[in-house]
């Protein structure tokens, strides 16, 4: 059977506000993405996932949706979207959109009707309850963001409380109501009919909560969400909607750190195609920790499960800031060479660090501005302060490293992280063992993570040095003594034959070799 498109190459995450601004208002837009499609072709991606661009008051920068089937004017129009998908497909790039099923904006017409009276036909589309005691919320659930505190807000008009897992401006939909589920299925059909190739499902574990709304147990914040078996039935029905269309893919943001539980979303073959593995994002920079996370997935996975590796997105500090700049290059190698689909957040292919945000420019409610800073396309010394991202004033400050790390400068430097990313994508494309081969981690010596990929008569060895010092490779004697280096993250490492017995990895080096 042919390998499905979403297993072959990377999926690149675009945060539209910060990718490319075509009209000079300082905010990225859909036309801006169209203008950069050839950049994405050169990057060799299989598909892109766009964070929300739907009509929204932007309390959570688009994760508070006012109309699931309209484009927010700041990003353009539905015609711009149609153009984007047409131009992307013409270049062989698939497109995933962000589906936010757990909550809407408080300005969504459903919620406006719902809050208007206890008798509203839409009342039961959201989660309304009486308070507990004289003035308390219905239970002890907390918002996932620190600032709101309780996950409930009392609405003066009707005297009841509504549930919001995030901001009060993001009321949770009531998925116990079949009309809500049906309406959300319609949203999926709307975008599938427009040609999208799949969806990233925002905090999808939250669409099935304890129907009795019992208090959370201290120290176990997730006990009230991903209610079993309701969650699995609901996921199966979502899957059935997209399976009416060919080749569509569902990638869940299953924000649960308990891997066996996450695997129940992907192991049966009729729920999600992939689930982002958040265990990976929370790992310390340690070869043993990474090896364990990789092995755990393989041990728990059925034939149906396929890993979705990522170490950065618009909610987490960038890899270069968390682990260091040479380490960020090695992370890219890991993403491309591990069995699974690499998810690359915009700017990671450039090795960008988080931007410094002065206190008077802080704009996000949850401290996520640094990783959302706009992409620098050109050196500010020539393109001006907008660094080719915008001709206007960027909505967030651009990294102070833009002069050195912008796309244009990196494209003409063979040793740059951008060129490394392009070479990794090309190897993934040409080496069947990287796309679909089997995988086995190896004992390799202190601070070294090594793994074998075997497929189509080829054996590839990948090694990542987690130490900031040299480390000698120590492999089992049954492996061959020599190998051909295909790629290293260290620009000084020559390609060609090496003796594996004598191979010393340079500090933080990642290396890919053919056995
Ligand atoms: C996860 C998204 O990635 C994040 O940006 C957002 O704030 C929450 N879900 C709420 O939608």
Lowest-confidence segment of 1-10, 315-324, 333-342, 506-515 by average pLDDT? 1-10
Mean pLDDT of 104-113: 98
Among 114, 145, 174, the domain-final residue is 174
- Give me ligand 1 centre to Cα 331, in Å: 24
pLDDT at site 224: 83
Atom 10 in ligand 1: residue holding the nearest Cα: 63
Atom 5 in ligand 1: residue holding the nearest Cα: 315
Q: Do residues 86 and 129 both lie within one domain?
A: no
CA distance 3 to 273: 13
Are 482 and 498 in contact, with CB atoms under 8 Å apart? yes
H/E stretch holding 463 reads strand 458-465
pLDDT at site 222: 61
Atom of ligand 1 nearest to the CA of 103: 11
CA dist 163 to 213, 227, 394, Å? 10, 16, 34
Please state the φ and ψ torsions of residue 245, each to the nearest 5 degrees. Answer: -120, 145
CA distance 104 to 107: 8
- Give me ligand 1 centre to Cα 467, in Å: 33
- Give me ligand 1 centre to Cα 147, in Å: 14
| Beta strand residue intervals within 149-239, DSSP E | 152-155, 160-163, 198-201
β-pair type (504-505, 496-499): unpaired
pLDDT at site 38: 98
Among 147, 174, 201, the domain-final residue is 174
Ligand 1 neighbourhood includes 369 CB (under 6 angstroms): no
Choose the catalytic residue: 253, 369, 371, 447: 253
Mean pLDDT of 430-451: 96
pTM of the predicted protein model: 0.98
Ligand 1 neighbourhood includes 100 CB (under 6 angstroms): yes
Ligand 1 neighbourhood includes 202 CB (under 6 angstroms): yes
Are 172 and 126 in contact, with CB atoms under 8 Å apart? yes
- Give me ligand 1 centre to Cα 202, in Å: 7
Ligand 1 pocket: which of 14, 62, 63, 251 to mutate (most atoms <8 Å of CB)? Answer: 63
Range of the domain at 109: 105-174
CATH number at residue 486: 2.60.40.1180
In three-state secondary structure terms, 448 is: strand
Q: Do residues 99 and 109 both lie within one domain?
A: no
Ligand 1 neighbourhood includes 203 CB (under 6 angstroms): yes
Q: Do residues 283 and 343 both lie within one domain?
A: yes
- Give me ligand 1 centre to Cα 102, in Å: 10
Spatial CA neighbour of 287 closest among 493, 471, 433, 435: 471
Among 425, 457, 491, the domain-final residue is 425
- Hey, which residues does 154 pair with through a beta bridge? 161
Mean pLDDT of 97-106: 98
Mean pLDDT of 208-222: 84
Ligand 1 neighbourhood includes 184 CB (under 6 angstroms): no
Residue 124 has pLDDT above 80, yes or no: yes
21 in catalytic set: no
Mean pLDDT of 244-259: 97
Ligand 1 pocket: which of 60, 207, 310 to mutate (most atoms <8 Å of CB)? Answer: 60
Ligand 1 neighbourhood includes 61 CB (under 6 angstroms): no
What is the distance, to the nearest Å, from the Cα of residue 256 to the centroid of all Cα atoms in its chain? 14
202 in catalytic set: yes
CATH number at residue 135: 3.90.400.10
Complete edge-to-edge strand list for the sheet that includes strand 198-201: 274-275, 249-252, 198-201, 94-99, 47-50, 11-14, 341-345, 308-309
- Give me ligand 1 centre to Cα 312, in Å: 14
Q: Specify if 432 maps to a domain.
A: no
pLDDT at site 221: 55
Average pLDDT, the chain: 96
CATH number at residue 49: 3.20.20.80
Relative orientation angle of helices 230-243 and 178-193, to the nearest 10 degrees: 30
- Give me ligand 1 centre to Cα 483, in Å: 44
Q: Specify if 431 maps to a domain.
A: no
Residue 400 has pLDDT above 90, yes or no: yes
CA distance 275 to 266: 7
Ligand 1 neighbourhood includes 172 CB (under 6 angstroms): no
Ligand 1 pocket: which of 18, 169, 170, 202 to mutate (most atoms <8 Å of CB)? Answer: 202
Mean pLDDT of 92-119: 98
What is the number of domains present in the chain? 3
Q: Do residues 201 and 330 both lie within one domain?
A: yes
- Give me ligand 1 centre to Cα 408, in Å: 31
Sequence-separated contacts (24+) of 485-490 with Cβ below 8 Å: 485/511, 485/512, 485/513, 486/427, 486/460, 486/512, 486/513, 486/514, 487/333, 487/420, 487/423, 487/424, 487/427, 487/511, 487/512, 488/512, 489/326, 489/329, 489/330, 489/332, 489/333, 489/420
Q: Do residues 198 and 275 both lie within one domain?
A: yes
Atom 2 in ligand 1: residue holding the nearest Cα: 202
Q: How confident is the model at residue 478 (pLDDT cuts 50, 70, 90)?
A: confident
Q: Specify if 477 maps to a domain.
A: yes
Choose the catalytic residue: 202, 354, 369, 447: 202
Q: Do residues 462 and 411 both lie within one domain?
A: no
Are 289 and 265 in contact, with CB atoms under 8 Å apart? no
Q: Specify if 26 maps to a domain.
A: yes
Ligand 1 neighbourhood includes 98 CB (under 6 angstroms): no
Q: Specify if 430 maps to a domain.
A: no
CA distance 284 to 449: 14
pLDDT at site 223: 72
Q: Do residues 333 and 391 both lie within one domain?
A: yes
């Amino acid at each position: 059977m042919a390998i499905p498109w979403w297993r072959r190459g990377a999926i690149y995450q675009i945060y539209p506000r910060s990718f490319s601004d075509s009209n000079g208002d300082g905010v990225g837009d859909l036309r801006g993405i169209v203008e950069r499609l050839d950049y994405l072709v050169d990057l060799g991606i299989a598909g892109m996932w766009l964070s929300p661009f739907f009509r929204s008051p932007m309390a959570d920068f688009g994760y508070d949706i006012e109309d699931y089937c309209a484009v927010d004017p700041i990003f353009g129009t539905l015609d711009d979207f149609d153009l984007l998908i047409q131009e992307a497909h013409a270049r062989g790039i698939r497109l995933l959109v962000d589906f936010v099923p757990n909550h809407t904006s408080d300005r969504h017409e459903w919620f406006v009707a719902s809050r208007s009276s206890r008798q509203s036909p839409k009342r039961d589309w959201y989660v309304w309850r009486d308070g507990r005691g004289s003035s308390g919320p219905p239970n002890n659930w907390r918002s996932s963001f620190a600032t709101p505190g309780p996950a409930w807000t009392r609405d003066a008009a009707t005297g009841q409380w509504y549930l919001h897992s995030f901001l009060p401006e993001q009321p949770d939909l009531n998925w116990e109501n079949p009309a809500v589920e049906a309406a959300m299925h319609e949203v999926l059909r709307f975008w599938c009919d427009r040609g999208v190739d799949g969806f990233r499902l925002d905090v999808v574990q939250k669409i099935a909560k304890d129907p009795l709304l019992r208090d959370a147990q201290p120290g176990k914040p997730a006990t009230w969400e991903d209610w079993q078996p309701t969650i699995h039935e609901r996921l199966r029905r979502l899957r059935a909607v997209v399976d009416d269309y060919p080749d569509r893919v569902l990638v869940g943001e299953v924000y649960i750190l308990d891997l066996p539980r996450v695997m129940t979303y992907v192991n049966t073959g009729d729920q999600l195609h992939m689930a982002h593995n958040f265990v990976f994002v929370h790992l310390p920079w340690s070869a043993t920790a990474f090896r364990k996370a990789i092995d755990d997935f393989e041990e728990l996975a059925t034939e149906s499960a396929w890993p979705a590796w990522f170490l950065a997105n618009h909610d987490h500090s960038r890899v270069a800031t968390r682990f260091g700049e040479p380490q960020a290059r090695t992370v890219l190698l890991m993403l491309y060479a591990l069995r699974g689909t690499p998810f690359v957040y915009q700017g990671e292919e450039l090795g960008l660090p988080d931007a410094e945000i002065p206190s008077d420019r802080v704009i996000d409610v949850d401290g996520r501005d640094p990783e959302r800073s706009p992409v620098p396309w050109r050196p500010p010394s020539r393109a001006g302060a907008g660094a080719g991202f915008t001709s206007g004033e960027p909505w967030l400050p651009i990294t102070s490293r833009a002069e050195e790390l912008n796309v244009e400068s990196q494209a003409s430097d063979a040793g740059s992280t951008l060129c490394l990313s392009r070479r990794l994508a090309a190897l993934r494309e040409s080496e069947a063992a990287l796309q679909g081969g089997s995988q086995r981690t190896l004992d390799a010596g202190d601070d070294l993570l090594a793994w074998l990929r075997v497929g189509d008569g080829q054996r590839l060895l990948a090694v990542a040095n987690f130490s900031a010092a040299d480390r000698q490779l120590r492999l089992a004697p049954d492996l061959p003594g020599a190998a051909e280096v295909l790629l290293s993250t260290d620009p000084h490492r020559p390609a060609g034959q090496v003796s594996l017995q004598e191979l010393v990895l340079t500090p933080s080096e990642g290396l890919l070799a053919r056995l």
